[in-house]
Structure 1
């Protein structure tokens, strides 16, 4: 094990630890709002699902890839490898689908207030839960066909029949036909990325028109309250697309030739980058989350200050106890 392997292991573990904490905070926050019967926005369910699949991606890829970087490649048996790889593939596909759903939902929310759009805005929230359920079912069924190709890793010993990918190896002789792979995997991803590009361009256009109205008609930015949320989602979606495309390039390059450890680790780092940064982008941009954090932090600060005052200036009963007076 070299110094580079140790650095890679530290990078994977740090990436996983930081990302899981951020995503778990979002899950806790929205669950708290739900169980305390506070107002939940329709978009909060999408954020919760995104945090959930991001956590699943980090735990099924980043942590185990860190172990693989340290040379611990024989931790899983064939069944364990199939389960972990399957969960990662499902979470990766769901991350794309839910990001696509998020981009489309926000595009509808900020659309012009015409009668046609108003009716659509009223109907869209009720379709969020069924859409997420359909995404889960689709990706769980989609990735079943790749399970038979996987088995536990035997180390980085690529042959003409076996290719190693960290903790798992793939039997390339049990190949999926090119046409089947294009229909089952490539086509849905291409449709989602095209839809994300279209809705993102539409939102940029609406923000540009709103910016023009502010300068030409002195319209207050409060007349467009979704502006900040739209900018945040645009940044989130753009970050996702960049990492997704870079990882797709690495993955395509690995499939075109025998992968080496450097390519496998680089692809894994890119895969785990968006799940790590996305929760903090949401936390720092969502005013609702910031208000909650400031409220809780303010209460803790007040309680700490009161405790310190009681320690320095105890009440009469406490003062007698401290000084030993009868």
Structure 2
């Protein structure tokens, strides 16, 4: 068990630091330049992933609650609610990222082309409604989260070392799981649809360039690199999402808690927030240029 926890700690540290680097990059872009619409989405997604690592670690929140003499029940409700909100935001914003990129690379003759003119406005509005939706939808389970007492006597299901879920009827349990899963499955379906659409566009564009230039190896454009990055992120998200769903479905419907399974599930949940900034940093040349310019400025100062 200790080895699994050490791997989880390393993953969390790596993911948090990588997301912080990416967040600083987006802040630099927003303050010093005119950000692209996709940068606004990526900025939000990076912030959400940082919050996921902070809330998932839970130690800093525990210290705050302990210093304020706040009951364990309130601590559990706040952390559980915040965790659900951030996980919901992660899937919604990833879906928006996929849709926005599909609009960006869509040809002028397609139906999506009409959204290009007010692309930034639509994205800002979508981000606003995504936050409102997740802050509202994720509040239902707060009534069932309490501080951990004695599972054998109260039939609670322990979900962390200090928190547990109160028993609920099979109807409410199934309804909650069905509603949350239906939302996620719909968003995953949208991501897969837009990904298929983007792959088709890239394939047709590649064939057209090869026909015009008669070259087997062509240099990828920034739009193509960005699209390939998002396709990779969507693939990683979908795979990790379904693994998480299988684990959650087994634990929730069978009302079963296992510390080892919980640790593995956390590793799966944090895999996407860890991989995302690493892929973005390695694929976006602007980040390398910004880091080089910051390095040169530091050398001038010191």
TM-score range relative to shorter protein:
0.7 to 0.9
State the number of aligned residues. Answer: 290
Measured in 2, the distance between the counterparts of 1:231 and 1:34 equals 24
Aligned to 1:202: 197
Work out which of the residue numbers 185, 190, 194 in structure 2 matches 1:190: 185
Aligned to 1:77: 72
Measured in 2, the distance between the counterparts of 1:134 and 1:211 equals 36
Flag the structure with larger Rg.
1
Structure 1 contact 15–62 (Cα < 8 Å) conserved:
no
Aligned to 1:324: none
Measured in 1, the distance between the counterparts of 2:43 and 2:83 equals 18
- Three-state SS of the structure 2 residue aligned to 1:122 is coil
Aligned to 1:109: 104
Aligned to 1:281: 279
Q: State the TM-score, normalized to the length of structure 2.
A: 0.87
Aligned to 1:253: 250
Measured in 1, the distance between the counterparts of 2:210 and 2:281 equals 30
Aligned to 2:67: none
Measured in 2, the distance between the counterparts of 1:10 and 1:223 equals 39
- Three-state SS of the structure 2 residue aligned to 1:151 is strand
Gaps of 5+ in 1: 68-74, 308-326
Aligned to 1:164: 158
Q: How big is the shift at 1:303?
A: 4.2
Q: How big is the shift at 1:229?
A: 0.6
Measured in 1, the distance between the counterparts of 2:34 and 2:48 equals 23
Q: Give yes or no for the alignment of 1:216 onto 2:216.
A: no
Work out which of the residue numbers 2, 17, 23 in structure 1 matches 2:19: 23
Gaps of 5+ in 2: 63-69
- Three-state SS of the structure 1 residue aligned to 2:139 is helix
Aligned to 1:144: 139
Measured in 2, the distance between the counterparts of 1:173 and 1:105 equals 40
Measured in 2, the distance between the counterparts of 1:286 and 1:225 equals 9
Structure 2 contact 103–113 (Cα < 8 Å) conserved:
no
Deviations, residues 144-192 of structure 1 (Å, cap 9, x unaligned): 110010012247x456721111132011236662564256312211110
Measured in 2, the distance between the counterparts of 1:182 and 1:14 equals 31
Structure 2 contact 8–263 (Cα < 8 Å) conserved:
no
Structure 2 contact 45–90 (Cα < 8 Å) conserved:
yes
Q: State the TM-score, normalized to the length of structure 1.
A: 0.81
Q: Give yes or no for the alignment of 1:124 onto 2:80.
A: no
Structure 1 contact 200–234 (Cα < 8 Å) conserved:
yes
* Aligned-CA RMSD value: 2.6
Deviations, residues 222-255 of structure 1 (Å, cap 9, x unaligned): 7954101100111111111111111111111111
